[in-house]
Structure 1
Amino acid sequence: MQLESYISDLLYRYECVTVPELGAFLTQRVSATIHESTNAFYPPKKMLSFNEQIQKNDGILTHYIADVEKIPFEEASKKIEKRVKSLKSYLTEGETISFENIGDLSLNNVGKIIFEPSYHLNYLTDAFGLSQFVSPSVNREVYKETVQKIEKVIPIAITPERRKSRSYFKYAAVAVIALTLGGFVASNYYVNNINTQNQLAQEEANQQLESKIQEATFVIENPLPAVTLNVKKQTGNYHIIAGAFRIEENSDKKLEELKTLGYDARKIGVNKYGLHEVVYASYEDRLDALSALRDIKRNHNPAAWLLVKELD
């Protein structure tokens, strides 16, 4: 039994996934960060950790396995117990247990489990489609040095003596202010006059249009027969996400690609990050959605995930 795949599915939705008699995988939301030396921007994510003290069965993992594999709860519990015994034997022999997209488990010198998380997958669904990027630093000192070099070659200075000797600066300033105020007043008058003329023209056009509509009579001598179209509308709150795209054209290309492969794909709108979301299909029943998700992750897209959302 691939226990890590079930744990990975649940980490998207829960902050604690307990493996009975082994420990609990915990998630903690971490805000977006900036690395000061590399200028790298990292999106928000869920930080993974492991607590060996939490071993009581809360039923989440067992219920999930029972639903996906369509087996009784007791049988799913026995399969987990058998798998945990096998994992503990490997750890006792000094081996490292690697859970794909989750992390590595090993024992230290005193027999305690050490967990090294994996950073290949972001379990925060709100950050889906966001990736890290590096922004070049802005060095303003370059421009400062350039200005200083220019000032050394062409000094710019107006001393009190030069101000007195050039009294015409004062009159030039007064003239500039007067011209500016005059231009502002004239501009406002011109704009207001144009707006008034446009409003009058619009009202006259609306009156003519209303009179034409009242006088018009439409007669259809040979009406076309009514056509009934049966359109299948997708419903359901369980959506298998294929991708989220900043540019809508890319989402349209992804949609056509999935339809060509035979999926009932569609777009479900824009999320709060401005990304256009494309789904393989939407389902009414949660178990049907989980079964389809496992098939898609195994045969087409390992990064696909399930979104539970009620659409308008």
Structure 2
Amino acid sequence: MQLASYINDLLFRYECVIIPGFGAFLTQYHSARIDKSTNTFTPPGKLVSFNRQLQTNDGLLANYIATLESCSYETSLQRIRNFTGNLSLQLSEGKTVTIKNIGDFVLNKEHTIQFTPSEVQNFYTASFGLTSFVSTSISREIHQKTVAALEEKAPLYISPEKRVARPYLKHAAIALIAVSAIGFGGLKLYEGSVQKHNFAEKQKANSLIENQIQEATFFIDNPLPSLNLTFTKKTGNYHIIAGAFRVKENAEKKISQLSLKGFEAAMIGVNKYGLHQVAYSSHENRLEALQTLRKIKTTNNKDAWLLVLDLNK
């Protein structure tokens, strides 16, 4: 099933991949885990789940297929219909359907689709190359007991040294302390005088700079007129795409056409194929974006589709 590899690709990039007429795969992040019973360390990843209720086409999978296979949007939709029809047929025959690296589907006694995710693939790109591993536990208590036992067997004894009275050392020590005190006092006086000198010089320099700034006068014969620029910043990760253009001028022309129709159209960047993408609008809420997409497909452009992309990255 070639479409399985396309779905795999999209799950690495998006949190929701809808298969029109069948359901949607959702990914949810989980942090690194430790199984204390088996001492197994598992890296961070994404858990894959399946939602049968999300079947409305958002254009993501169809446009991805059309781009990779250089075919029309309708052709890619037909391929998806064939794919979902084959899945439904196999499930109705009581077979277990496996989508490689994603999971298994089976139809239970209540004729409800049950999904079991595969643990082979980790769709969290930051954990690429990381695998689970088993590490033996560290018995710190045993090592502490071993060290304590060694200390009991080999105790340490410190015996006092016999000292010979040397009175002249006491006088030499007193003299050394006196010389050190005098030297320390002189050093402190020298440091104080240096600090005062540096402070006075800094005050002079600051006063000189302030006087020069106050005396400076600037004249501009032909001042430039002030400009008031208004920029529209697109917010949200859900963008309804109107088209992608190789030539930037064509993208700008499309934006002008959509603006005349009342859309807040904008260019949201260049994709990996070098195409300038033009969006009808951008939204922070996925449900709001899907509702707007449905309205645009009905009234304006049936080939419009939804792109999930964080523009701040």
Which of the two has higher C-alpha Rg?
A: 2
TM-score, scaled to structure 2: 0.49
